[in-house]
Chains A and B, each alone.
Chain A
Amino acid sequence: MPQQRSPARRISTRSRPISIVAAIPAFAGFGRVGRSAVAGESRLSVVATTGQVGDLARNIGGEHVNVNALMGPGVDPHLFKASEQDVIALIDSDIIMYSGLHLEGTLGEVLEQASKRIPVSEVADGVPVDQLIQPEDDAFDGNPDPHFWFDPTLWAHAADEAARALAEVDGANAESYRLNADAYKAQLLDLDVYATEQFERVPAQSRVLVTAHDAFGYLGRQYGLDVVGLQGISTATEAGVRDVQSIADLLVASEVPAIFVETSVPQRTIEAVQVAANDRGWEVTIGGSLYSDAMGDADTDEGTYLGMMRYDIDTIVAGLTGEEAE
């Protein structure tokens, strides 16, 4: 069996100075005023960081928890800064759950401080270390790629970790959390089979995902897609122009019909790739935007992990097979 990281290591200690903590001087003074001690209300108060973790907590916690996810749709977890309100929500909770592997970059220090008073669970702790992607370059500041939820089999480990963490705080409902995790994992297993079957429809040589976001490494590894990043490419520099040319060469050689974008990518970079491919006689379409770090709106299918994954899978497969997205 792959070695699990010790559950005792809750918070990753980051080598950065503790400036963020200093910016919240009142932090140490807060008591746990909001703990759900009101008579009759026995739900556990869970604060989650990202939408994905919030969705996981809801699925595993079921009727025993109230979940508050700090980062709404469209929020970049790498850049998210906790407001005073967020900090109050964090320390008023019964348990804090976060994704981890330094995904919540600037929130790390706040979480570490909170962990001194409140149980904190890094759901990535459930994932065997040898299944994490450790990039050779310093793409993630020397850390593993934190976007592990894009592999449903790894997210299943996170489900186990969430059940374990909730049971530790609320032992009376441990069995319920266990069963909920099993039920959720059943859906993750089906999602993984679905994704495998769908990506198999893309001709082998065209299984190339050109995208602006660095979030899709795990998706690529699990389903045999080469992930090529557009991020950081500027057409203003000579190196950038060369990058655009080489991506266009790849698209032509592999007969890749679509590239995928995010609103954050400069339009001219995308157009430059399209034009460069077109110059080589190959038409490339824009395959639609993908959910990466953030999920869709709360009241839509894409506001859940399962719905977001299916949306991304369907969008990529439709683009790479040249089928129209439904």
Chain B
Amino acid sequence: MSQATLTANTTTPASGESVIQVRDLTVAYNESPVLWDVDLDIEPGKATAIVGPNGAGKSTLLKAILGLVPIAAGATRVYGAHLDTVRNRVAYIPQRGTVDWDFPTNALDVVTMGRYGRIGWFRRPGKADRSIAEECLAKVGMSDFAKRQISQLSGGQQQRVFLARALAQEADLYLMDEPFVGVDAVTERAIVQLLHEVRDAGNTVVAVHHDLESVTDYFDNVVLLNVRLIESGPVSKVFTEENLRRTYHGQSNPIAADGTTAAPRSGSELAPVRGVLR
């Protein structure tokens, strides 16, 4: 895809500091736009949530950044470069549902997989890699399950194993697609804690997220998306009732805990969004 647009935009004030730059990004499936003319900068060292209704293009935005979907127009850059040149700095945790958990492998081997980005596919992990993998498995509280086949783990345990894999990669940028879907409360707390540790160590976290109630607790920044970019910035400034209304217009139930169905509610129920924060 053409990088010309991006090059032309290097004078944009924030672009020098941002981890991810998205410029004039349009992605279309079957000629209908999934993302339309999105401009976005992701701030380093912060945890950012991408929020919006179903079909808003949240996952597509992540995948466009990762080069996994064709771009109709515009460009994305990571650390100011084409993704291919900085791939090792980027860890991607796909939606849990896209992994076939019958895949014949155990928890420790999955975590060790995270090392190949660093050592290359044609070298074999050494003792140091193995011990890093074990440490990462310990960080997510899964040491006791190291040799267990991933098909034998619960949903939350599976998600933690994939998080450990990303940690083993020792990346600088962590992209997560709905990390809390289908996981238990214990796992959710463990993931959030790790996510904050990763951020506090100076790394950047970007997660597609649908639970509006936890946005303020979990994230520093928020990107409100509905095919177009509605607003992005610090949660304290951007995550307002008015902006949520603009993001979820027509779809009056922004709070769908499971992210699947949105039972109709009246617009006035948007008000508690900021009030129910834990």
Give residues in A with beta carbon < 8 Å to B: 131, 153, 156-157, 160, 176, 179-180, 182-183, 185-190, 192-194, 196-198, 200-201, 203, 222, 321-323, 326
Give residues in B with beta carbon < 8 Å to A: 29-31, 63, 68-70, 94, 98-100, 102-105, 109-110, 112-113, 116, 121, 124-125
User: Smallest CB-CB separation from B68: which chain A residue?
Assistant: A197
| B interface: dominant SS | loop
- 27 CB < 8 A contacts A-B: A153-B100, A156-B103, A160-B104, A179-B124, A179-B125, A182-B105, A182-B109, A183-B116, A183-B124, A185-B103, A186-B112, A188-B103, A189-B99, A189-B103, A189-B105, A189-B110, A189-B113, A192-B100, A194-B68, A197-B68, A197-B94, A201-B29, A203-B29, A203-B30, A222-B100, A322-B31, A323-B70
User: Smallest CB-CB separation from B70: which chain A residue?
Assistant: A323
Q: Which residues of B are found within 8 Å of A186, using beta-carbon distances? A: 109, 112-113, 116
Query: How many whole Å from B68's CB to the nearest CB in chain A?
Result: 6
Q: Which residues of B are found within 8 Å of A182, using beta-carbon distances? A: 105, 109, 112-113
User: Smallest CB-CB separation from A188: which chain B residue?
Assistant: B103
Query: How many whole Å from A224's CB to the nearest CB in chain B?
Result: 12
User: Complex formed: what's the CA distance from A176 to B241 in Å?
Assistant: 58
Task: Tally A-B pairs: CB < 8 A.
Answer: 65
In the bound complex, do residue A156 and residue B105 qualify as a contact, i.e. CB atoms below 8 Å apart?
Answer: yes
User: Complex formed: what's the CA distance from A107 to B124 in Å?
Assistant: 35
User: Complex formed: what's the CA distance from A192 to B110 in Å?
Assistant: 14
Given contacts A179-B124, A201-B69, A321-B30, contact A153 B104 (CB under 8 A): yes
Query: How many whole Å from B146's CB to the nearest CB in chain A?
Result: 13
Given contacts A179-B125, A203-B30, contact A153 B102 (CB under 8 A): yes
In the bound complex, do residue A156 and residue B70 qualify as a contact, i.e. CB atoms below 8 Å apart?
Answer: no
Given contacts A196-B98, A197-B68, A201-B69, contact A153 B103 (CB under 8 A): yes
User: Smallest CB-CB separation from A192: which chain B residue?
Assistant: B100
